[in-house]
Chain A
Amino acid sequence: MDINVTLKVWRQNGPNDKGDFKEYQINKVSTDSSFLEMMDMLNNQLIENGEDPIAFDHDCREGICGMCSMYINGRPHGPGDGITTCQLHMRSFKDGDTIYIEPWRATAFPIIKDLMVDRTAFDKIMQAGGFVSVNTGSAQDANNIPVRKEDADEAFKAAACIGCGACVAACKNASAMLFTSAKVSQLALLPQGQTEATERALNMVAEMDAQGFGACTNTGACMAECPKEISLEHIARLNREYMAASLTSRD
C-alpha cells in the first residue's frame, strides 16, 4: 500500500545556526519501506528540485550500529518499542499523518547539521575506563576461568548497548547513566573486569559529569526508550559500585 505524509523536519545548518522546522510533503510512500528509505526518497526528491537534502546519521540499517538517531513524534527512535529508527517501518503510519522529526537534544551532543549530532562524548566516557587493561598476546587460555552462566548472560545483556544515545535524548536531565552503567555493569559481572572495578566506576562517572551530561533522577525514561531494553538494574549496580569505590578509593 502507498501513503502520503507531511513531514516537519528540524533543519539546522551547523552548531551555531538557530534552526527551525521545515515542512515537506511526500507522496506514494510504500508502507513496506523503512522510515529511512522514506527519508532517502525525500532527499532524492529535494536534490532533483535543487534543494539541500536533510543530513542524518545511519549505516547498518538493521538496528545494531547505533548510528541512526531521530526523535520522531516526541520519542527517540519513534513509535514502537525495542527498535531503532532504521527498524521503524512506514506501516506504523497512516495516510495523511503529519510526522515531526528532530535530532537528539542534549548539551553534550551538539548538533552538526539537521538531524545529525556529535556523540563523541560517549567515546570519551569509554576512554575513561570502559576496558580491561590486557595487552594483546598476554591472555591465558580462555577456559581457565569458568564464569557462571547467569553472570555471563547478565553481562551479555548489558553489553548489548549500541551506544545510540536515545537514553540521553529521552531523559529530561540528559543524563548518560544508562549508557555508562551498562558498561560498568558488564565488566563488574565478569572476573576479568574485577581488578580495575573501583577505578573504572569512579573514572567513568567523573568523565560523564565532565562531558556535561545531567544527573540521574531515576525517572526511568531512558529504559522505556532504549532500543536494546537495557535495564535500570544496571544503574542500581553502578550506584553500588560507585559507593563502594568512593569508600575504598585510596586517592
Chain B
Amino acid sequence: MALDSKIPKGSIDKKWSQYKSEIKLVNPANKRHINVIVVGTGLAGGAAAASLGEMGYNVKAFCFQDSPRRAHSIAAQGGINAAKNYQNDGDSVYRLFYDTIKGGDYRAREANVHRLAEVSRNIIDQCVAQGVPFAREYGGYLDNRSFGGVQVKRTFYAKGQTGQQLLLGAYSALSRQIAAKTVTMYNRHEMLDVVIVDGKARGIIARNLITGEIERHSAHAVVLATGGYGNVFFLSTNAMGSNVSAAWKAHRKGAYFANPCYTQIHPTCLPRSGDHQSKLTLMSESLRNDGRIWVPKKKEDAEAIQQGKKNANDIPEEDRDFYLERRYPAFGNLVPRDVASRAAKERCDAGYGVNQTGEAVYLDFGYAIKRMGKDAIEAKYGNLFQMYEKIADENPYELPMKIYPAVHYTMGGVWVDYDLMTTVPGLYCAGEANFSDHGANRLGASALMQGLADGYFVLPYTIGNYLADEIRTGTIPTDSPEFDKAEAEVKGTIDKLMNNNGTKPVDYFHKLLGSEMWEKCGMARNAEGLKSAIEEIQKIRKDFWANVKIPGSANAMNPELEKALRVADFLELGELMCRDALMREESCGGHFREEHQTEEGEALRHDDKFAFVGAWEFKGTDSEPTLHKEELVYENVEMKQRSYK
C-alpha cells in the first residue's frame, strides 16, 4: 500500500483553514447515533473524549489507571509552548513552525507542524477558560519563559507542574461530559486488541483490570491516545505503567509504525543508584541556565571519586573539565538535549564519570551561588534542590548535583496522515503515541502542545470527515466472527502466560531487554551493535515465553499479568526499533549513528538519502517487516545542518 499523507493543497498558512471549510459535517441528530472509542485519557485522549462528547457523539473512554486524572501527562513539569507573542519579542506562528521543524532536524512533515503552531494559540485560551492556574505577572497577565534554548519567551507554565494543571483541565472537561452522559468512562481497563471488520476499525477488546473479565466494545471509529513507549528501556522518566501495547496491537493489525528509533534522551536526570532502581527522575532542564557541567580532567581524580575517596570539592578549578563549554563555546551548557546527552556519555565512556557506577557528571551551582548569592539560587530553584536532596540525600548547595541522561520521550509512533488517521481506516492516533510533529527530536514544552492540539482542535474536526459517511451504518454488533476471533486471540495469549509454569518474574526479562536497548540502541548506535541487539532481543523473547512465571489468576486483579502483557509487546517493539536504527544510515536528532559523524564528532545527516519517514508494515512476529517511505518535501524552510559551536 502506498502511503498517502493527504496533505491539503494550497499555501502552508491556508491549508488548515481551507481544509476546515471543506470537510463533511455530521448533523447533531446523527451524532448521537455514532459511537467513538477513545483509548487513553492523557492530554490527547482526555481532550479528544471531552470535545467529541460535547459535540454530541457517543463516546466510550478507557484508561488503565484508577482515574483519568492520573495519566502520565500529569508528570510534565516545564511548560507548554504557544505562539501568542504576549511578550512582544517577535514570536509568530511561522517562527514556532520554523523552530519545530529545525529542532526536529528536518524530519517532520511541514503541513502538520504548521497546523500545530496555528492552533497552539487556541490551547492557551481554552485552558485559561477552564480555570487552569497558569503563572501570572503582577499586572495580572500571563507570564512566559524561554525554554530549551529558543530565542523567544513562548512557554506558559504553572510552577513545575504544568502537565498536572493542563491534565486536570482536560479531566474537568471530561468529568463534565461524563456527568452529561455523552462520555462513558472505563477506568482500570486495558485495551488488548483492536477489532477490524471489513477493513475498518470497529472496536476493541479490553480487560477489566479489577475482575479480569474480557470485554468487547464496538464503535464507528477508534482513537488511540495511549502515550509513548520509552519504557521499552526498562528505566526511563516515564510512569511505571506507560506502555506500547495499544499502538503495537494496532501495528500488528495493519497500522504502520513510523520512525521507531527516534528516542529522546534527556540530559538532566538523576543517575542510577543501583539494581533496585525502578525508574529515573527528571530534573528540570531550566537548571542548565545557571549550573555548569563538568567532570575531572584527570582520570585518577575520577577514579578516586568513583571509589568514594574524593568528592567534587577536592578537585581544584584547573583540574575540572567543563566539556560543554570547551566543545561548544557559543551555546555552552545550553546546547540542545541530544548534544548535551551524547557529550555526557562520551566523557563517562572514557572513564571520567563521577559516581560509583561511573555514569554521572556534575551539574555545579557553586559558581552561580558565588555570583548571585544562595538566596537568589534558592528563589529560582528551591523546589528542585529539595527534590534532589530527597532522592539523592546530598545537599546541592554544598556539593554539585550528579546527573546523567535518561530516556524521556519517543518521537516515533504510529504513522498517521494529515487527518491523524492510521493506515487502518477508522483508526486514529493522537498525542505521543503517533509519530507526527516532532521529526527526529522534540523541543522542550512541545509535547503538551501537541497532545492538546490533537485532542481539542484537530481530531474533533478530522474525525467528522470520516464519520459523515457512517451515519447510515447503525450500531456495530459485537457478536460478529471478527470480535469472536479477536477475543479468542487475547484469551489465548493470557492462557499461555498463566499456564506457562516458568520460574522468572516479568521484571527479569524487562531488565534484560532494557539494558540491551540502552547499550545498543540508546544514545549512540552502530551497525554491529544493532545487529547483535536484534539477535539478543529475539533470544530474550524466546526465553520470556518459555520461562516467565505469572502467579495468581487471570480472572481477578493481577498486576503481574498486566506487566507481562506489556513486556511481551515491548519485546517485539525493541527489535523493530533496532531495525529502524540500522536502516537509517545517518545521524539526525535523537538518532546518532557512530558511523555518521563529522570529524569533530557531531551528527551528520544525509538529506539526499534519508529525508523520509520510515513507516514499517508488520509481517509476522518472527518475520522481517516491510519498509514504506513517505518522502519529506520542504517548501517553506531550507534544510540546514545544525551547529552549536
Which residues in A have some Cβ–Cβ distance to B below 8 Å?
14, 29-30, 32-34, 36-38, 40-41, 43-44, 46-48, 50-53, 55, 57-62, 64-67, 83, 87, 89, 91, 112-113, 116, 118-120, 122-123, 126-128, 130-143, 146-149, 152-153, 155-156, 159-160, 162-163, 186-187, 190, 192-193
Which positions 96-122 of chain B face chain A at CB distance < 8 Å? 122
Q: Per a CB cutoff under 8 Å, which of B68, B129, B131, B241 touches A140?
A: B129
Q: Is B279 an interface residue (CB 8 A)?
A: yes
Collect the chain A residues with CB atoms within 8 Å of residue B161's CB.
64, 160
B172 to A156, Cβ gap below 8 A? no
Q: Per a CB cutoff under 8 Å, which of A60, A119, A133 touches B176?
A: A133
A139 to B122, Cβ gap below 8 A? yes
B274 to A66, Cβ gap below 8 A? no
Once bound together, how far apart are the Cα atoms of A136 and B169, in whole Å? 12
- Name the CB-closest residue of B to A193: B131
Least Cβ–Cβ distance between B504 and chain A, in angstroms:
8
B391 to A89, Cβ gap below 8 A? yes
A139 to B140, Cβ gap below 8 A? no
Q: Is B61 an interface residue (CB 8 A)?
A: no
A52 to B142, Cβ gap below 8 A? no
- 19 more CB-based (< 8 A) A-B contacts, given A33-B273, A159-B168: A30-B273, A32-B274, A33-B276, A43-B505, A59-B241, A65-B75, A89-B391, A119-B67, A127-B176, A127-B178, A131-B172, A134-B129, A136-B51, A142-B84, A142-B127, A146-B141, A147-B140, A152-B136, A159-B133
Most-contacted residue by chain A among B84, B130, B141, B241 (CB, 10 A): B130
Once bound together, how far apart are the Cα atoms of A152 and B50, in whole Å? 25
Once bound together, how far apart are the Cα atoms of A184 and B169, in whole Å? 14
Q: Is B165 an interface residue (CB 8 A)?
A: yes
How many contacts between A and B, using CB within 8 angstroms? 215
A48 to B503, Cβ gap below 8 A? yes
Collect the chain A residues with CB atoms within 8 Å of residue B513's CB.
none
Collect the chain A residues with CB atoms within 8 Å of residue B552's CB.
52-53
Which residues in B have some Cβ–Cβ distance to A below 8 Å?
47, 50-51, 54, 65-70, 72, 74-75, 84, 86, 122, 124-131, 133-142, 158-159, 161, 164-165, 168, 171-173, 175-176, 178-179, 185, 187, 210, 239-241, 273-274, 276-279, 281, 390-391, 393, 456-457, 460, 503-505, 507-508, 549, 551-552, 556-557, 559-560
Least Cβ–Cβ distance between B88 and chain A, in angstroms:
12
Q: Per a CB cutoff under 8 Å, which of B134, B135, B176 touches A131?
A: B176
Collect the chain B residues with CB atoms within 8 Å of residue A43's CB.
505, 560
Collect the chain B residues with CB atoms within 8 Å of residue A131's CB.
130-131, 172-173, 175-176
A156 to B457, Cβ gap below 8 A? no
Q: Per a CB cutoff under 8 Å, which of B164, B391, B551 touches A50?
A: B551
Once bound together, how far apart are the Cα atoms of A246 and B393, in whole Å? 50
B131 to A142, Cβ gap below 8 A? no
Once bound together, how far apart are the Cα atoms of A192 and B66, in whole Å? 29
Once bound together, how far apart are the Cα atoms of A153 and B137, in whole Å? 10
- Name the CB-closest residue of B to A163: B69
Once bound together, how far apart are the Cα atoms of A103 and B158, in whole Å? 32
**Closest CB pairs A-B (n = 5):** A146-B140, A131-B172, A139-B129, A33-B276, A156-B133
Q: Per a CB cutoff under 8 Å, which of B67, B133, B164, B507 touches A152?
A: B133
Q: Per a CB cutoff under 8 Å, which of A30, A61, A120, A134 touches B276?
A: A30
B175 to A61, Cβ gap below 8 A? no
B278 to A37, Cβ gap below 8 A? yes
Q: With A37-B276, A152-B136, A159-B133 given, is the CB distance from A123 to B175 under 8 Å?
A: yes
B390 to A83, Cβ gap below 8 A? yes
Collect the chain A residues with CB atoms within 8 Å of residue B175's CB.
123, 126-127, 130-131
B278 to A36, Cβ gap below 8 A? yes
What are 23 pairs between A and B in contact, CB < 8 Å? A33-B276, A40-B507, A59-B70, A59-B240, A65-B75, A65-B239, A66-B69, A66-B74, A112-B557, A113-B556, A126-B172, A131-B173, A134-B130, A139-B125, A142-B142, A143-B142, A146-B136, A146-B140, A149-B140, A152-B134, A153-B133, A156-B133, A187-B131
B66 to A34, Cβ gap below 8 A? no
- Name the CB-closest residue of A to B559: A55
B131 to A186, Cβ gap below 8 A? yes
Once bound together, how far apart are the Cα atoms of A87 and B51, in whole Å? 35
- Name the CB-closest residue of A to B70: A65
Once bound together, how far apart are the Cα atoms of A130 and B176, in whole Å? 8
A143 to B141, Cβ gap below 8 A? yes
Least Cβ–Cβ distance between A152 and chain B, in angstroms:
4
Q: With A119-B66, A136-B173, A159-B168 given, is the CB distance from A190 to B551 under 8 Å?
A: no
Once bound together, how far apart are the Cα atoms of A238 and B131, in whole Å? 17
Collect the chain B residues with CB atoms within 8 Å of residue A132's CB.
129-131, 172
A137 to B390, Cβ gap below 8 A? no
Q: Per a CB cutoff under 8 Å, which of B66, B122, B131, B560 touches A137?
A: B122
